[in-house]
Structure 1
Amino acid sequence: MNDHLDLLNGAYALDALDDVERAAVERHLRTCTSCAVEVAEFGEAAARLGAAAAVAPPPDLRARVLAEARATRQGPARMRKPPPRPRRLAVAAAAVAVLAGTAGTTWWVQENRVTDERARVVAAEQESARMRAVLAAPDATLKTSENSRGGRFAAVYSAAEGAAVLSFDGLGDVPSGKTYQLWRIVGGIPRSLAVLPPDARGGTRVVGDLEPADELAVSVEDEGGAPQPTDVYATVALN
């Protein structure tokens, strides 16, 4: 290893050596100016790329850096005046790029999580505002189901808003493999609003694009839903 300590300069700058190798490189750097300069250059490049986001290097980083370094043709140590280092710089740059890529991926995942959370918050705020508008409308009227098998299935409908706040709770248990599905029935044609999770027995949601002649319904279907209701549990007429 002593004849090729210069091969470890990139890994040393990235803190990817074990204690024995690090100590050997540090002893070598005390007497080799060109290697010391090379390590400083590697360290500066790593610092610039790592400033954006600090992340732990991948577990296999050290092995990849050393494998690439061993595959790099090196001249004899006595011919280092001044040493052309484009290939070794490329090795270090590749290693640093691995860190930068990891940091970029981490940032991308976190940024998308933040974006998704912001989208959910905006959607919830819009739903809440729409709900308040329907409930506060001068023509808002409470409509309840007359054929429910149990629980409560009702809606506050506003023709002026063209929407209703649908509310349901206490729905009965369904057989294994079944779930509830919500419907909007327009001109006698059912249109699916949502397939509820198997354990859902209540909830509230705003349903838009409604006319007085429309109906809202809930049915019991196979998990995953159906193209049209097959087992109607309750309906609400809006007129």
Structure 2
Amino acid sequence: MNDHPELLNGAYALDALDDTERAAVERHLRTCPTCATEVAGFAEAAARLGGASAVAPPPELRNRVLAAARATRQTPSRVAGLRPPRGRRLAAVAAAVAVLAGAIGTTWWVQETRVGDERARVVAAQEESARMRAVLAAPDATLRVSPDAPAGRFTAVYSASQGAAVLTFDGLGAVPSGKTYQLWRVSGGVARNLSVLPPDARSGSRVVENLSPGDQLAVSVENEGGAPQPTSPYASVTMGRA
């Protein structure tokens, strides 16, 4: 009988034991709540591995776990008179530890990445909102409206003191398949890309920085993916002084 079945908990959770070893562990689990809890945790971590995003865990996590496994004294196991080779037992335990560490590390890393991305989006939205309020509240803020926006409104509230404008577009018309809208800043007659809108985008707003009187904000219809320069007539609004 195996004197230390708890050493097989990780391999048991991974279904990496033979019938004799599995029976020994299951007998032990019936009388050891601590090991039963540990096995349940191992199994949950292994299950998450299959559904986790393909993001590599921090290399130092795996290295620390494997180093600890190599440094830990391994107690020989004897199950029903069988004495597996020491190298085979160490390899099985090391493999179980590595896979479980990878599962836990990957899940942790994915969650940390998602939380970090969401936090960055929230901060960016707050900063954008604060900047919009500053431009709109500026004493010299003036509204500019494009007279030829495509089946909608294309406007900008510009403040020369802020050097920025709040660009707003709404109700833009449908575009042919394979086309989309692209936003531009036109300065000195040279158009520079601001952003390529998603094909279904019809409304939105954003702050455009570093504008001077006489600069224009424009929108044109381009192929999906955008163009380096406008390839079709564009609707525009011109920045001016109050």
Aligned to 2:201: 200
Q: Distance in 2 between matches of 1:180 and 1:135?
A: 25
The Cα shift of 1:78 comes to 7.4
| Number of residues of Structure 1 aligned to a counterpart in Structure 2 | 204
Query: Which amino acid counterpart does residue 203 of structure 1 have in structure 2?
Result: G
- Give the match's secondary structure for 2:12: coil
Query: Within 2, Cα distance between the matches of 1:216 and 1:131?
Result: 16
Aligned to 1:174: 175
SS of the equivalent of 1:211 reads coil
Matched-pair contact (CA < 8 Å) for 1:12–1:25: no
| Alpha-carbon offset, residue 94 of structure 1 | 2.6
Q: Deviations over 1:75-96 (max 9, x none)?
A: 9x8798xx99576245313312
The amino acid across from 2:209 in the alignment is: G
Q: Counterpart in 1 of 2:12?
A: 15
Deviation at 1:26, TM superposition (A): 5.4
1:84–1:135 distance in 2 versus 1, CA, 3 Å: same
Structure-1 residue corresponding to 2:95: 94
2:24 is matched with: 25
Asked whether the 8 Å contact 1:219–1:234 carries over to 2, the reply is yes
Equivalent position of 1:136 in the other structure: 137
Q: Which has the larger radius of gyration?
A: 1
C-alpha distance in structure 1 between counterparts of 2:150 and 2:222, whole Å = 15
Partner of 1:56: 46
- 2:66 corresponding residue in structure 1: none
Task: Indicate the percent of aligned positions where both proteins have the same amino acid.
Answer: 62
5+ residue gaps, structure 2, are 51-76
Q: Could you say what the CA RMSD is over the residues aligned between the two structures, in angstroms?
A: 3.9
Alpha-carbon distance in structure 1 between the residues aligned to 2:157 and 2:186: 16
Using structure 1 for the length normalisation, give the TM-score: 0.71
- Asked if the contact 2:218–2:237 (Cα under 8 Å) also holds between the matched residues in 1, the reply is yes
The equivalent of 2:67 in structure 1 is none
- Asked if structure 1 preserves the Cα contact closer than 8 Å seen for 2:8 and 2:25, the reply is no
Deviations 1:189-229 (A, max 9, x none): 10000100111111111100100110000000011101111
Shift in Å, 1:186: 1.1
* TM-score normalised over the length of structure 2: 0.70
Q: Is the 8 A contact 1:192 1:228 kept in 2?
A: yes
For structure 1, list consecutive stretches of 5 or more residues without a partner in the other structure: 30-39, 60-73
Q: Structure 2 vs 1, CA of residues 146 and 94 (structure 1 numbering), >3 Å: closer, same or farther?
A: same
Equivalent-residue separation in structure 2 for 1:235 and 1:26 (angstroms) = 74
Paired letter, 2:45: V
Conserved? CA contact 1:12–1:22, under 8 Å: no
Q: Secondary structure at the match of 1:190?
A: strand
Q: Which residue pairs with 1:118 in the alignment?
A: 119
